Structure 1
Amino acid sequence: MPRVLLDRDPLLEPTRYRFMDAPWPVSWIGPVQFDADGAGVWAFRCKFNHSGETLRVHVSADQRYHLYLDGRRVGRGPERGDLRHWMYNSYDLDVTAGAHTLVAIVWWCSPTSPTPPPWAQQTQRPGFLLMAEGDKAPEISTGHGHWDFRAVTGVGFDPVPSINWFADAIGWRVKVDGQAYPWGIERGECDGWQPARVLHAAAVASVVWESHPYWLLRPALLPEMREARFAGARVRHIEEVPDADTILVPVNAQHHIAAEEAGWTELLRDHRALELPPHTRRRVVVDFQTYLCGYTGLTTSGGAGATVRVRWAESLFIHDASKQKTPAQATQKGNRSEITGRHFTGFCDTFTTDGGAARAFESLWWKSGRYVEIYVETHSEPLTIDALAFTETAYPYDFTAKFNSSDPRLENVIPIALHTLKMCSHETSTDCPYYEQLNYTGDTRLQSLVAMTCSRDDRLVRKSILLFDWSRTGDTWTSGRYPTRSVQTIPTFAMWWVAMVYDYAMYRGDLLFLRQVMPGVRAVIERWRQQIDETGLLKLPAGWNFVDWVKGWQAGMSNPVPDVGCGITQWQFVYTLMLAAELEGIVNEPLLAQRHVQTAAALAATAERTFCVPERGLFADDPAHIRFSEHAQVLALISGQLSTSIAAAVANGLLTDGGLARTSIYFSHYTFEALAKIGRIDVLINRMNLWFEHERMGLFTLLEEPEPSRSDCHAWGAHPVFHYFASILGIRPAAPAFTKVMITPKLGPLEWAAGEMIHPLGSIRTKFERHGESVSGEIELPPGVTGELVLPDQRVALTPGLSRF
């Protein structure tokens, strides 16, 4: 029963005037009553007869659904969008002749409830929609066919746990009471069904005449998320505990019950049932030996009233979560492979059994981490755990790029970086899968560069660009993160969105897509122009003008005060204007391109007058020349607007001045860009020591920032993989859509380096060897691609196929 991806609305007829018609012959349905400040789970059921051919249906819900046909799950959804771009998923159902039952389990949490939905989840009210194509449409489509509903009793949600750092951001921590749950409901069984309430007609944004300003439908943009049963779990600790409050109990190796280890291992790895006696309390710490995003599945028999809680954590903490601590103390974890003496704090799902046989529980939404803690408490009956399984989920990226070199440390970073990117890629890109699951512009630009370098699949990149375009508010900023149920303005991130569009234009192309988003690019540029005062100084706007997580800065800002000048932001806008100028050239708007270039030159001249400190060869962050950072220097260097002499002085200052605020993991991407520009790959590799240390620290993914780091999985740190290809091998687009390539190998201290980089028309294969100051090697370009090889002493034209030099 595969999901299908559509490239247009199935009922949109472009040759017919339909503005006064409902474009879909279907309506939303919902529960008759619901608590607008609460949460709920409902089942919707439709019984029908079918002649046996494939049935195509389009399905959506607010907030989420699990769809079942005759008790078998068809899919989860809908794909995440926003209220004005509400996604529906499409399925081709292989339905045999005879009677059938469709059931959708739909859940909804009010933003004002004690158990709010994820920060990334926009919502209006609980609702469900299904449209069938063909002859069965009147019988099956919601609002026309007969659909019943009933509450799914026994399912609730946990309130925000008492841990630090965005504990309520991911939402949907489920509690299932098997004694109240209507078993068999996914097959449409149980009683208590009543006709669902018809809400209003469905609306498609492209043809609507008048509609509610929400649930404007469009086809899903992405393929089905990858789901696979995980089989690599290892039991690390088993102990008897006095009660369920295990957060306060550090793991004590002396309490480990070794005799029970084999049974738990067989349950997790071999799917053999495990029986726990009456009046038992067990705490089991399981190590996935990797980082996992996944759903929990539990099947039990007997053991009425028993509790099974599954809590997820990236790492165990040195301190418990019960005391007031500074953020630094609260995030101390040490080596991630160590658990003895550590505290287990995290997000959980909780299941209570009713004593029935083969009761199947599951989480509604995925969680993430390296570890799970399983707490089991039985009462007067033994409990049999028939199965405990974890289903891995992520965007179905297939990374096929390759890189190796004479320094094996570089290659060792690749699997960690790409696994981090996978774990941060779902229905949207996410900053981190554990704490926030939010799509931030600054993060996603770097993730997209790595994705386009290593994978042929750019659909998530395109969706990310669209999401930020859709996020633009009345003052035209793109939202700092999107989708989101609260407004967050990060004006500096709006410039990184322009850079994302530029990256896509150069690495992939698609002129029609670029023209679609260029009005948003222009809006962002013009909004930033409003911040230029009469002296040519760019004043900081109101909002969170985030730059980087730098120790000593307030909330990631060198200067947190609005309406003043900032050298970092001034140079970022110069850099962004030059990218926007290239974009305007691509879409054949030369006058706009010329205007951007002129503005960039004027701003650069003002930056030199205002922020330049010649005696240090540096640009200050502030007009008073008090604060200095690497950030200002690298943005000035990569802007391309410095004279040769000033660029040389700034490069020297960047390399030698010890008084600069240092770029962190995220902003090091721009440092690496500057180092590649000035030919200092040796410094770039030396700056990667933090990446080289990850494996020694017991990490399978990349940190958010240097220790103590909140998040253990942050894909903005994957950018070195991009630089392996773009900066060391020197492979960069020389024309839109990568139709031409410029290759400028810079090996630095490496004796040799080789790689295979993804290109829209195939792959670019290179191998370079250093011989003193000279380089030899070979380059293979895909058909239809030409380019130029740039060496210190010559430039060589490249043609499709293999070239040796």
Structure 2
Amino acid sequence: MFPVNRFPMSPTTERSVNMSIEKSSRIWARDLENAPDLYLCFRKKFHLGRMTAPAKAQIAAETDFALYVNGSRVPVTQFPDFEWEKTFSELDLSPHLHEGENTIAVLVWRLGMGNATHRLCPGGLLFALSAGGSVIRSDGSWKVRKSAGYRSGNCRFSSIPVGYRFEFDAKVREDWTAADYDDSGWEYAAELPRPAADGSWNRMKRRPLPPLQEIPPGEVSVIWQGEVLLPVGNAPAGSSGEPFLRYILPENAFSGWKKGWNGVSDENSGSPYPLPLSPGGKSIRLNPPQQGIDGISVILDLGRETTGFPEIEVECEGEQDAVTLEIHHGEHLDDGRVRSKILCADFSDTIHCGHGRFRFCHTLRRIGARYLQLFFTGKITQCIRLIYAGVRETLPILPEVSSFAAPDTLYEEFRESAIRTLRNCMHDHYEDCPWREQSLYAYDSRNQMLYGYYLWGNYDFAEASLDLLGENYFADTGYLALCAPSQDKITIPVYTFTWISAVYEFVLHSGRIGYIGKQLPRINAILDGALKRKAPGYDELYSPGKAEDFWAPDAPDGTIWNFYEWTGDLSGSNIFPQALYQIYLSEALICGSRLNHYTGNEKQAERYRTAAHALQKAIDRIFWLEEYGCYGQFTPEAAPRQKPYEHVQTAMLQADMIPETRKQQVLQNILRNKTRTCTYSSMMYFIRGLMNTDEQGRRFIVSRIRDVFLPMLKSGFDNLWELPEPRALYGYSLCHGWSAVPAYFTNSIVLGVTPLSPGFKTFRVSPFAGNLASASGSVPTPYGSIHVKWQIAENGKMHVDVDAPRETEPRIELFPEYNRG
């Protein structure tokens, strides 16, 4: 539907940076450097001679951009970054440039606020092109003006992490990106200093990952249509309360309706839905509303959770020039509507339609959705032809996915749901969810990285996210920010500790020992700071910080949020000391010790290892609840009537912190559901912890995974939920990366593959059968895939075949239950 060209990334050299973008000027519209929610259009016409070499272009902008070459959009967007070191993309534009006159056009959107996904930065566009014997750089000869179609300065929140909603006037009919467009009335761009007065735009850095792939939009289904009555005051459909919706019969809703329109001609064919709608296919003509009705609405099912750019094609028949279209997106269908308004968030955007036909794709902000709902309101006097509405999907470039097969196909179905979920939560970095936040959290992404290692070996992608997280550091508290890159002032201490664990797991799986040096100074600073913060009254335990800095609903100015997972007191109690803080710190100390060991810093490695072991002994002694036969989140003195948490028990089990004399008591409490069940975010600890018990504990994992994930499969939604009760009222996501543990379970636990040294140089193979008689599959490594195939013989013994790259060495260690007889 839209002219989109696919250009390969150009080969990278440090010399090319110095030749081009570092010498380019930061340009912008005069006096608008700090304007929020601003849409600017830039143009540059230039002449090229005969091209005998690839045409290299480099571009960077604040906050995002759409690049057009002679009228066609290049599928590239701005990579997330920090204001002091902006990223640029390098592209080969040869396929679309030609000898003679050419035009570069760039639409730039400046968010103009700091939030959970973006750092506040003054406006700017940098561009450089080397082609045909010429070098074209951004400078004062470029033309600029505010976008005539997009409304700037609107500043209507979608959600705090996502930013602002857009409002577009489709009545503005001009192709300002075309080569022959007359821009003589535009102003010349202002050249702004680099670095800026606040230190931003100081350094430039090549984006670490290639641009996202764009998948042409496919078939969607109309699943509902009806009438709209707006709230009092005729407010837009999603702005003040919710509109009243009423279903109307298809013969009254659709012009030209007749039986069999949906391919079913039987008189008793029942519901006409779903009605297919495809790009270039048959359109649907919507009748105007009856007198007294404010508008008409249509709900479309995208068929699955889809993340990308909203795309629509509509025709307002006749001379209608006062029709407003709101596009709402979401994952839930409640009360006959797409649940797009959640607490203070509003996932809707606005287009003002003019008469005639128009096509529109918003490429400056991704949306994540399963459903779209269109609200047509205003002065609708004639039919509206809906030609298409959907999403142009965006996906990262990933290696081929690993394999897995088992007689029980549920394992494969769970795994496929996990793969879809992870893909939807990966764009320029890992995202917690593609709909509501699109934020990079250390805890969520640690899970996503680990699970992804067993699918794609996605080392480059993981490294880019680790870098972003490590850069967002608070020197005063010794913690990382809650998200990255972000303007967050809040931190979750254990998220910082899991970042250290994630760095260690990255090195272990990728074999990139050299990466340690990049992050080790920060890791050591974090751990050294943590070891200095002794818990008041407990010389052997540690504190997350000063009590006056703790965040709580009644202390919103606090910056330290003592969160572990969304259940009970683990979501934010300020009773201290807390077991999970100590457990995660001990894990980070062990990981920090190993990272220092890999780099030859044995003194620091031994210091952290000694501190971790001492802390683990203290946790066992101080948090043991004799009455319950397991461990508390709080000490018995601080909370004598507390109910134990499964998260605490399983995190200690996986770290082998529980003495043998107590391990069976703890396990039985878990098996008998006498501990508060962990949620999906900590299921990795649940699986690892129970794998470290006995046959009974290991088998319990299978029943839990079925209990958790089978309802999701049966729901008809093809991704994995954030929480057991995905209530739309609170915005719980139906696609959440931290829940994709089935991918890890199948390819790491069932196949039994675990690296023992960096890069799988040595690795353990300890398959877990559960209720299976056989399984096979592969695990990626830096040297190629490991292939494992195992089978249980009639005598109960397990036979294992391993085919591994020659650079790696397997160690087969079977569980006792598979080695009998």
Deviation at residue 766 of structure 1 after TM alignment: 1.5
- Name the residue aligned to 1:354: 354
- For 1:200, the equivalent position in structure 2 comes to 193
- Matches of 1:482 and 1:712, distance apart in 2: 23
- Return the alpha-carbon distance in structure 1 between the equivalents of residues 744 and 339 of structure 2: 41
Give the structure 2 partner of residue 401 of structure 1: 402
C-alpha deviations, 1:568-625, integer Å up to 9, x for none?
2212222221222222221222221111111012112222231123454312211225
SS at match of 2:211: coil
Residues 700-759 of structure 1, C-alpha deviations (whole Å, 9 max, x = no match): 111111114411110100012112222222110011111111111221332222222222
Q: Do structure 1's residue 292 and structure 2's residue 315 form an aligned pair?
A: no
Equivalent-residue separation in structure 2 for 1:259 and 1:305 (angstroms):
21
Match among 93, 104, 122 for residue 102 of structure 1: 104
Change in Cα spacing, 1:85 to 1:719, as seen in structure 2 (3 Å) is farther
- Alignment match, 1:665: 680
Q: Is 1:701 matched with 2:719?
A: yes
State the partner residue of 2:463.
462
Q: Partners of 1:773 and 1:491 in 2: how far apart? A: 46
Offset at residue 232 of structure 1 (A): 3.1
Of 155, 165, 178, which aligns to 2:150? Answer: 155
Partner of 2:213 in structure 1? Answer: 226
Letter paired with 1:291 = E
Q: In the alignment, which residue of structure 2 is the partner of 1:714? A: 736
Where does structure 2 lack aligned partners over 5 or more consecutive residues?
Answer: 1-5, 231-235, 263-273, 551-559
Residue equivalent to 2:268 = none
2: distance between equivalents of 1:40 and 1:12?
28
Deviation of 1:773 (Å): 4.3
Give the CA deviation at 1:183: 4.0
Structure 1 residue 635 corresponds to structure 2 residue 630: no
What amino acid maps onto 1:770 in structure 2?
I
Task: Label 1:435 to 1:620 Cα distance change in 2 as closer, same or farther (>3 A).
Answer: same
RMSD (Å), alpha carbons: 3.3
The answer to whether the 8 A contact 1:152-1:181 is kept is no
| Deviation (angstroms), 1:312 | 0.8
Q: Cα distance 1:91–1:549, how it changes in 2: closer, same or farther (>3 A)?
A: same
- Alpha-carbon distance change, 502 to 10 in structure 1, aligned in 2, over 3 angstroms: same
Instruction: Verify the 8 A CA contact 2:306 2:391 in the aligned structure 1.
Output: no
Residue in structure 1 matched with residue 557 of structure 2 by the alignment: none
Q: Which residue of 2 aligns with 1:578?
A: 590
**Structure 1: which amino acid aligns with 2:408?**
D
Q: Structure 1 length as normaliser, TM-score? A: 0.86
Q: Is the 8 A contact 1:745 1:791 kept in 2?
A: yes
Question: Is it true that 1:240 corresponds to 2:262 in the alignment?
Answer: no
> Which residue in the other structure is 1:34 paired with?
32
User: Using the alignment, how far apart are the partners of 1:579 and 1:365 within structure 2?
Assistant: 37
Is the alpha carbon distance of 1:12 and 1:157 closer, same or farther for their aligned partners in structure 2, counting shifts above 3 Å? closer
Q: Match of 1:184?
A: 176
Give TM-score scaled by structure 2 length.
Answer: 0.84
Aligned match for 1:787, one of 795, 804, 810: 810
Partners of 1:219 and 1:493 in 2: CA distance:
27
8 A Cα contact 1:158 1:172, kept in partner = no
Once the two structures are TM-superposed, the CA of residue 488 in structure 1 deviates from its matched residue by 2.4
Contact 1:311–1:372 (8 Å) recurs in 2? yes
* Partner secondary structure for residue 563 of structure 2: coil
Q: Tell me the equivalent position of 2:555.
A: none
Structure 1 stretch displaced more, 309-318 or 253-262:
253-262
Report the CA distance between 1:273 and its aligned residue.
Answer: 4.8
Match of 2:531 in 1: 529
Instruction: Give yes or no for contact 1:490–1:544 (8 Å, CA) kept in 2.
Output: yes
C-alpha deviations, 1:108-163, integer Å up to 9, x for none?
Answer: 1322xxxxx7631223222111022367665x20126x21111112312696879x
Residue 661 of structure 2, aligned match among 636, 645, 650: 645
| TM superposition shift of 1:435 | 0.8
What's 1:691 paired with? 709
Question: Partner letter of residue 195 of structure 1?
Answer: Y
* Contact 1:49 1:98 (C-alpha < 8 Å) held by counterparts: yes
When residues 23 and 601 of structure 1 are mapped into structure 2, their CA distance, relative to the original with a 3 A threshold, is same
Alignment map for 1:446-595 (pairs within 5 Å): 446-475=447-476, 476-533=478-535, 535-541=539-545, 542=550, 543-550=560-567, 552-553=568-569, 556-557=571-572, 559-561=573-575, 564-595=576-607
CA–CA separation in structure 2 for the residues paired with 1:671 and 1:251? 46
Q: Give the aligned partner of residue 609 of structure 1.
A: 621
Instruction: Tell me, in whole angstroms, the C-alpha distance in 1 between the residues paired with 2:304 and 2:17.
Output: 46
Q: How many residues align?
A: 751
Q: Is the 8 A contact 1:450 1:719 kept in 2?
A: yes
2:540 aligns to what SS in structure 1?
coil
Q: Give the superposition deviation at 1:79.
A: 1.0
Letter in structure 2 aligned against 1:142:
S
Q: Secondary structure at the match of 2:76?
A: strand
Shift of 1:218: 0.3
Aligned equivalent of 2:556: none
Once the 2 structures are TM-superposed, how far is the Cα of residue 77 of structure 1 from its aligned partner? 1.9
Quickly say closer, same or farther: Cα 1:660–1:3, change in 2 above 3 A.
same
1:765-792, Cα deviation, whole Å (9 max, x unpaired) = 2222224542123221122211210124
**Structure-1 separation of matches of 2:700 and 2:814:** 20
Kept after mapping to 2: 8 A contact 1:155/1:181: no
The equivalent of 1:313 in structure 2 is: 330
Q: 1:122 aligns with which of 109, 119, 138?
A: 119
Larger deviation: 686-695 or 492-501?
686-695
Shift of 1:353: 2.6
Q: Which residues of 2 match residues 749-788 of structure 1 at below 5 A? A: 749-771=771-793, 773-788=796-811
For residues 323 and 464 of structure 1, do their structure 2 counterparts lie closer, same or farther at Cα, with a shift above 3 Å needed? closer
Is contact 2:86–2:205 with CA below 8 Å preserved after alignment? yes
Per-residue displacement from partner, 1:530-565 (whole Å, max 9, x unpaired)?
A: 223462112232411211111x326x13x324xx31
Distance in 2 (alpha carbons) for counterparts of 1:27 and 1:190:
21
Q: Contact (CA 8 Å) 2:220, 2:277: kept in 1 or not?
A: no
Amino acid at match of 1:32: R
